[in-house]
Chains A and B, each alone.
Chain A
Amino acid sequence: MNTEIKDNIEVTKPPIASIGIIGWLRKNLFSSLSNTILTLLGIYLLYSIIPSFISWAFIDASFVGSTKQECSKEGACWIFIKENLKLIFYGLYPSEELWRINSMYFVLLVCGIYILIPNLKYKGLVGSFLLILFPILSVVMFSGGFGLETVETRLWGGLFLTLVIAGVGIVLSLPIGVMLALGRRSKLPVVSLLSTIFIEIWRGVPLITVLFMASNMFPLFMPEGVNFDKLIRALIGVMFFSAAYLAEVVRGGLQAMPKGQYEAAQSMGLSYWRMMALVILPQSLKMVIPAIIGSFIAIFKDTTLVLVIGLFDFLGIIQFVGTNPDWLGFSHEGYVFAAVIFWIFCFGMSRYSQNLEKKLDTGR
């Protein structure tokens, strides 16, 4: 009986207009009058931006040549970037010593790729090399010593300087931030009060005033004769500033930890530091890794501010190159180039943290 009935029914296909490309368009772009208007406005917006940008940046742009005169008037003059590339990437770092920076980039790249490949052994080892030995090695390689020629920090600049400041900010601020977070959560009133005051002061003021303070007030704080280099002063400012922000992120992770974890660790007889190092911190840091990367992105973007105290970071050098009389009038190219590079770094980090978030979300 049943089969007979089934055979008689013809399977009706959905109407053409509700499937395939047409269906998708109707559903997502033209579902109602107001949506149609919005879609048309959106298309108009894209039409007015994208073609003119593409023709400026690629079609009418000049790539070959070495002087300003070889640039077309209509399009972008990428020759400007090409000719100043060394300045933009390395600042005034002496040309014959550039291999020192490049080799450290290479080491960083190899280690980074190794860590990003899933399911490899000794990741922890490579990670701790990057966090502990690599910075020490970098200091020697970049500034000189042990037979290497000394390069003063005033010659450092460009993207290299940006990466140095962001790297130092990130590597040094994490342990300080963890300590501050533990301090703020501590049951000892004096420790908790001091940590809270410290964190809130740094978080309450803009980075620019911190940098002004670092460049104007730090020299007064030190005993006579002790004089810090301008870069180190800026680094100290950036380090404390980002440590305060990281402390709040880590505190979030500590607060999200269920009380049972603390109680279980204590009933095992672990001391405070062992409980934190072996039980609480590994779990809570893992929970807030995405937020930590978010802070790193913020630090990376904030490093551009060092130009107000006269350090020539990536953006600073692009501003500086634009004032060179031989290359006046190319600020658009400089800004677009800087924006693209910054965007790649920041967007890459945020995508990485999203992936990590998915991977670490092991279903609690």
Chain B
Amino acid sequence: MQDRNLSLSNILFNRSIQGIFYQIVTLGLVILAIIYIVDNTARNMVARGLASGFHFLGVEAQFDIQMTLIEYSPTSTYFDSFIVGLLNTLLVAGLGIFVATIVGFAVGIARLSPNWLIAKLAEAYIEILRNIPLLLQIFFWYFAVLRALPKPKQSLEFADSFFLNNRGLFIPDPVFGEGGVLILYSFIAAILISIGIAVWSKQRQNKTGQTFPVFYSSIGLLISFVFLSMLATGFPVTFDYPELKGFNFKGGIKLIPELVALTFALSMYTASFIAEVVRAGIQAVSLGQTEAARSLGLNPNQILRLVIIPQALRVIVPPLTNQYLNLTKNSSLAAAIAYPDLVLVFAGTALMQTGQAIEIIGMVMGVYLFLSLMTSIIMNLFNRFMRVAER
């Protein structure tokens, strides 16, 4: 036995030894490739006189950005421009996710409607929008729709407070006066009390089987608390309405047309995918579940809330977060219509000015990579938490 183990052919054909050999070869090739690339890059950078390192982040950026959520001026640093771009990306992604979720759920449920016309309309929406490239849709909303809107003087208006024209969308800006904080506090208090009621009612139901209308009482609490606190402080919330002054609107919140077009296109496009996810999720709950719940004596509302939605969500949530992530990554198409997002501001303007391609593209990719890794970690936790407890 000992001899056989030592023979040459046994060493050559031993699976684990072969495995180690292959791994060493692969690792070696990858390391060689990396060395080759790093070496070439270093030579090229010397030859072209390119700087390296992250010193440029503290240097004055000397360019302006059309839309900023924080203080920014051309005297700010490149790092500030990075933050501005990042915040703009997160803003458009957040808005897009919000709208896409609402539209997507509505269309997905409409797709399963017993009403033939509504189901067909939802299907047409899905099939048209998801088979046309997103960039084309962004161009359409931006160049063909928003750019073709009338000038500020002839803006489309809604209730004398929302104005849409070729300079963007103008909406009223809420201004909190004295005592405004109290409203916030009472709002938080209402939420805390509602949570308390929910916990208490759950415990009571477990003990006695009696139920308590948690949902309606929470809504009642929220409304009455906020209303009472407003009454007590004398309605301190006023709105700063946009007004036409000269050739443009003043006051209110201005959403630039690029942001409007991008949000619109991203959310309409992603909604068509979300709708399919929602449909698949609802269809994945078998009819027997509804029938079983009904035979237990649950009312339709309870069936939906306690049986269908929890099971459908288990199927819906993972692909839904995937769509959210796609939307966030797709928001980088902003660069094509000059919405100042991370890619346009940092990988565009800043890269052109400094020429530090490796650092800048590395930072931009790092941001997106971080977002997607975080999402997949959260998703894995969710899956572990929501896994069906099998016997």
Identify A206's interface contact among B116, B332, B373, CB under 8 A: B332
Q: Is A208 in contact with B116, judged by CB distance below 8 angstroms? A: no
Identify B368's interface contact among A35, A190, A209, A219, CB under 8 A: A209
Q: Is B22 in contact with A343, judged by CB distance below 8 angstroms? A: no
In A214-228, the 8 Å CB interface with B consists of: 216-217, 219-224
Q: Is A339 in contact with B140, judged by CB distance below 8 angstroms? A: yes
Cross-chain pairs A/B with CB under 8 angstroms, 7 sampled: A203-B372, A205-B369, A209-B361, A213-B365, A301-B132, A335-B136, A347-B127
Q: Ordered nearest first, which 7 A-B pairs have the shortest CB separation?
A: A28-B116, A346-B131, A204-B372, A206-B329, A190-B23, A301-B133, A206-B332
Identify A191's interface contact among B23, B113, B131, B143, CB under 8 A: B23
B336 lies within 8 A of chain A by Cβ: yes
Identify B139's interface contact among A213, A217, A219, A335, CB under 8 A: A335
**Residue of chain A at shortest CB distance from B132:** A339
Note all chain A residues with C-beta closer than 8 A to B103. none
Note all chain A residues with C-beta closer than 8 A to B131. 297, 342-343, 346-347, 350
What is the bound-complex CA distance between A346 and B126, given in angstroms? 13
On whether A208 and B23 interact (CB within 8 A), knowing A31-B114, A39-B118, A350-B131, the answer reads no
Q: Is A216 in contact with B332, judged by CB distance below 8 angstroms? A: no
Among the 9-residue stretches A78-86, A121-129, A304-312, the one with 4 or more Cβ atoms under 8 Å from chain B is A304-312
B117 lies within 8 A of chain A by Cβ: yes
Min CB gap A88→B, angstroms: 14
A11 lies within 8 A of chain B by Cβ: no
Q: Is A29 in contact with B41, judged by CB distance below 8 angstroms? A: no
A45 lies within 8 A of chain B by Cβ: yes
B interface footprint on A56-96 (CB within 8 Å = 1, 0 otherwise): 00000000000000000000000000000000000000000
A189 lies within 8 A of chain B by Cβ: yes
B195 lies within 8 A of chain A by Cβ: no
A302 lies within 8 A of chain B by Cβ: yes
Note all chain B residues with C-beta closer than 8 A to A190. 23, 26-27
What is the bound-complex CA distance between A332 and B144, given in angstroms? 6
Note all chain A residues with C-beta closer than 8 A to B347. 209, 212
Note all chain B residues with C-beta closer than 8 A to A342. 131-133, 136
In A321-359, the 8 Å CB interface with B consists of: 322, 331-332, 335, 338-339, 342-343, 346-347, 350
Note all chain A residues with C-beta closer than 8 A to B336. 307-308
B43 lies within 8 A of chain A by Cβ: yes
In A271-306, the 8 Å CB interface with B consists of: 297, 301-302, 304-305
On whether A189 and B23 interact (CB within 8 A), knowing A213-B365, A315-B135, A342-B133, the answer reads yes
5 more CB-based (< 8 A) A-B contacts, given A205-B372, A209-B332, A319-B139:
A28-B114, A187-B19, A221-B40, A224-B47, A342-B132
Q: Is B44 in contact with A224, judged by CB distance below 8 angstroms? A: yes
Min CB gap B39→A, angstroms: 9
Identify B115's interface contact among A28, A194, A205, A350, CB under 8 A: A28
Q: Is A42 in contact with B144, judged by CB distance below 8 angstroms? A: no
Note all chain A residues with C-beta closer than 8 A to B373. 200, 204
In B134-190, the 8 Å CB interface with A consists of: 134-136, 139-140, 143-144
A201 lies within 8 A of chain B by Cβ: yes
B121 lies within 8 A of chain A by Cβ: yes
What is the bound-complex CA distance between A43 and B121, given in angstroms? 10
On whether A201 and B43 interact (CB within 8 A), knowing A187-B19, A209-B364, A212-B361, the answer reads no
Identify A29's interface contact among B37, B115, B358, CB under 8 A: B115
